[in-house]
Amino acid sequence: MHPPYYDIIKFSEDKSDLSNATNVEEFLLKFGAIVEKATPFLEEGRYLVLVIGDKYSSGEWIPLGFYCMNEVLKRGYVFKKHRRKNFEETRGKRNQKRTLAVSCARRRIYVFKHEYVMLFKKT
């Protein structure tokens, strides 16, 4: 699963698109519902992988990654491991390193450069 990181990028006008959730609570409710829908299609002992980043807004770090981890854990999975991925070095973002730093400095916001890859096993 690679859901929107709440409203960081708006992906569509569709109301059911997680990037259009009106607040973090609604985002997590909808994310949890999607995990619940997907779970019956995964055999026991198989893995669910979640790629998700956090959000920084109005001087507050919003730990979306950990909130989403919790939503998965409520639904019959055990947590196996996670990796923190620095997206500055990924193919899609590596040319944006300086642009990102300048944009964040101008707006006086924290330079955000990581996301999590989380691995869960269905029990």
Q: Contact residues for ligand SAM (CB under 6 A)?
A: 2-4, 11-12, 16-19, 34
- In this complex, which beta carbon is closest to ligand SAM, that of residue 57 or of residue 105? 57
Supply the minimum distance, in Å, between the C-beta of residue 51 and ligand SAM. 7
The strand pairing partners of 119, in sequence order, are 49, 81
Toward ligand SAM, which CB reaches closer, 49 or 105?
A: 49
Number of residues that this document lists for the chain:
123
CA-to-CA distance for 92 and 17, rounded, in angstroms? 22
Q: Which is nearer to ligand SAM, 91 or 108 (CB)?
A: 91
Burial class of residue 32 in the structure, from the number of CB atoms within 10 Å of its CB (0-12 exposed, 13-18 middle, 19+ buried): middle
Which residue minimizes CB distance to ligand SAM? 11
Nearest approach in angstroms of CB 78 to ligand SAM is 24
Instruction: Report whether 26 contacts 18 (CB < 8 A).
Output: no
Least distance CB 20 / ligand SAM (angstroms) = 8
CB of 106 to ligand SAM, least distance (A): 25
For residues 69, 72, 76, 78, the Cα torsion angle rounded to the nearest 10 degrees is -30
